[in-house]
Amino acid sequence: MLDEADRNAGHDDTPDSTASAVGGIAADRLRSIIERVERLEEERKALASDIKDIFAEAKSAGFDVKVIRQIIRIRKQEPADVEEQETLLDIYRRALGM
């Protein structure tokens, strides 16, 4: 069984230790993870702003933004799924006399 000296061997408990742990949590690792997520959230915010600008550009060029969004959503789907949805949509329209 390890005594106190063996358990603490190689551990630096000073506040400015790069491997400091508080309550069993590696504080530097936690800080790094949080900062990385924060940076990515900022990038996502910037990308969302860029996308909004592109849709504004499309609208000012006379394109229907709602239809563009629909096309983007369709392009993300598998072709077989798109075909099935279009077939069902056609069947439902005919059933309703549209």
Specify the pTM. 0.63
Same domain, 72 and 58: no
Residue 9 lies in a domain: no
Whether residues 31 and 43 share a domain: the answer is yes
Number of domains in the chain: 2
Residue 8 domain-assigned? no
Q: Give Cβ neighbours of residue 65 (< 8 Å, ≥ 6 apart).
A: 55, 58, 59
Q: Do 40 and 75 fall within a single domain? A: no
Q: Say what percent of the chain tops pLDDT 70.
A: 79
Give the residue from 44, 17, 43 showing the smallest Cα distance to 28.
17
Residue 22 CA to residue 1 CA, distance in Å, equals: 24
3-state secondary structure of 26: strand
pLDDT digits (tens, 9 = 90+) for 37-77: 999 999 999 999 999 999 999 999 999 999 999 999 999 99
Judgement on whether residues 55 and 68 belong to the same structural domain of the protein = no
Q: What is the domain extent for residue 23?
A: 15-62
pLDDT at 24: 77
State how far the alpha carbon of 81 is from the alpha carbons of 15, 31, 61, 85, 91, in Å. 57, 43, 31, 6, 15
